[in-house]
Chain A
Amino acid sequence: MILYEQSPALLVVIPLLSAFAINIFGLYNRRLCFPIAFLALAATLGAATMTLARVLQAGPISYRLGGWPPPFGIEYVIDHLNGLVLVTIAFVSFLAVIFAKLSVEKELPDKIPQFYTLFVLLVTGLLGMTATGDAFNLYVLLEIAALTGYALIALGDNRALVASFNYVILGTIGASFYLLGVGHLYIMTGSLNMGDLLTILPGLYATRAIFVAFLLVLCGVWLKMAFFPLHTWLPNAYTYAPSAVGCLVAPLVTKVSVYIMIRVMLSVFSSHYVFEVLALTGPIVWLAVAAIIFGSIQALAQDNLKKMLTYLIVAEVGYMVGGVWLATGYGISGAILHIVNDALMTFCLFVFAGIVTYKTGGHMLSDLQGLYRKMPVTMTGFTVVALSMIGVPPTAGFFSKWYLILGAIEAGSYHFMVALLVSSLVNAILFFRIIEITFFEPKMDHHTGHAPEITINEAPFSMLMPLLVVALGLIIIGIYSGTIVTNIIQHSVPGGLL
Chain B
Amino acid sequence: MEYLVSHYNYWVYILLMMVGLYAMLAKNNLIKKVIGMSIFQTAIIVFYVSTGAKREASIPIIAHGHGHDAAHTVIEAAHYANPLPHVLMLTAIVVSVGTLGVALAICLGIYRRYKTLEEDEIQEQLHDSL
User: Cβ of A161: which chain B residues have Cβ within 8 Å of it?
Assistant: 106, 109-110, 113
B99 touches A168 (CB 8 A): yes
A147 touches B106 (CB 8 A): no
CA–CA, A192 and B84, complex, Å: 10
A136 touches B103 (CB 8 A): no
Partner of A176, one of B33, B44, B91: B44
A168 touches B106 (CB 8 A): yes
CA–CA, A147 and B103, complex, Å: 10
Q: Does B88 contact A (CB under 8 A)?
A: yes
B109 touches A154 (CB 8 A): yes
CA–CA, A140 and B92, complex, Å: 8
Q: Does B57 contact A (CB under 8 A)?
A: no
Q: Does B24 contact A (CB under 8 A)?
A: yes
CA–CA, A319 and B77, complex, Å: 49
In whole Å, how far is A36's beta carbon from the nearest beta carbon of chain B?
24
Interface segment among A179-187, A322-330, A405-413, A438-446: the answer is A179-187
Across the two chains, which residue of chain B brings its CB closest to A187? B51
User: Cβ of B98: which chain A residues have Cβ within 8 Å of it?
Assistant: 143, 147
Q: Does B107 contact A (CB under 8 A)?
A: yes
B85 touches A186 (CB 8 A): yes
A150 touches B109 (CB 8 A): no
Across the two chains, which residue of chain B brings its CB closest to A171? B99
Q: Does B21 contact A (CB under 8 A)?
A: yes
User: Cβ of A143: which chain B residues have Cβ within 8 Å of it?
Assistant: 95, 98-99
CA–CA, A179 and B40, complex, Å: 12
**Residue among A151, A179, A192 having the largest count of chain B Cβ atoms under 10 Å:** A179
CA–CA, A187 and B85, complex, Å: 10
User: Cβ of B16: which chain A residues have Cβ within 8 Å of it?
Assistant: none
In whole Å, how far is B64's beta carbon from the nearest beta carbon of chain A?
25
A180 touches B47 (CB 8 A): yes
A173 touches B33 (CB 8 A): no
A172 touches B40 (CB 8 A): yes
How many residues on chain B are close to A (CB under 8 Å)? 30
Contact with A along B17-52 (1 / 0, CB 8 A): 100010010000010010001001100100110010
In whole Å, how far is A380's beta carbon from the nearest beta carbon of chain B?
34
Q: Does A82 contact B (CB under 8 A)?
A: no
In whole Å, how far is B122's beta carbon from the nearest beta carbon of chain A?
6
Q: Does B74 contact A (CB under 8 A)?
A: no
Q: Does B12 contact A (CB under 8 A)?
A: no
User: Cβ of A159: which chain B residues have Cβ within 8 Å of it?
Assistant: 126
Known contacts A162-B110, A173-B21, A173-B40, A168 near B48 by CB under 8 Å? no
User: Cβ of A168: which chain B residues have Cβ within 8 Å of it?
Assistant: 37, 99, 102-103, 106
Partner of A147, one of B30, B44, B99, B122: B99
Contact with B along A137-153 (1 / 0, CB 8 A): 00010010011001100
Interface majority SS (helix, strand, loop, mixed), chain A: helix
User: Cβ of B40: which chain A residues have Cβ within 8 Å of it?
Assistant: 172-173, 176
Within 8 A of A (CB), among B71-130: 84-85, 88, 91-92, 95, 98-99, 102-103, 105-107, 109-110, 113, 122, 126
In whole Å, how far is A432's beta carbon from the nearest beta carbon of chain B?
28
In whole Å, how far is A220's beta carbon from the nearest beta carbon of chain B?
12
User: Cβ of B102: which chain A residues have Cβ within 8 Å of it?
Assistant: 147, 150-151, 168
Q: Does A169 contact B (CB under 8 A)?
A: yes
A169 touches B33 (CB 8 A): yes
In whole Å, how far is A188's beta carbon from the nearest beta carbon of chain B?
10
**Residue among A172, A180, A186 having the largest count of chain B Cβ atoms under 10 Å:** A172
CA–CA, A498 and B110, complex, Å: 52
Partner of B106, one of A154, A183, A192: A154
User: Cβ of B110: which chain A residues have Cβ within 8 Å of it?
Assistant: 161-162, 165
B95 touches A140 (CB 8 A): yes
Q: Does A296 contact B (CB under 8 A)?
A: no
B106 touches A164 (CB 8 A): yes
A140 touches B99 (CB 8 A): no
B51 touches A186 (CB 8 A): yes
CA–CA, A165 and B27, complex, Å: 14
**Residue among B40, B41, B106, B107 having the largest count of chain A Cβ atoms under 10 Å:** B106
User: Cβ of A172: which chain B residues have Cβ within 8 Å of it?
Assistant: 37, 40-41, 99
Across the two chains, which residue of chain B brings its CB closest to A137? B91
B44 touches A169 (CB 8 A): no
CA–CA, A180 and B105, complex, Å: 26
Contact with B along A174-204 (1 / 0, CB 8 A): 0010011001001100001000000000000
A-B contact pairs, 6 of them (CB 8 A): A136-B88, A147-B99, A169-B33, A183-B47, A183-B51, A186-B51
Given A140-B95, A147-B99; 13 other pairs, CB 8 A cutoff: A136-B91, A154-B105, A161-B110, A165-B103, A165-B107, A168-B37, A169-B37, A172-B41, A173-B21, A176-B40, A179-B44, A186-B51, A192-B88
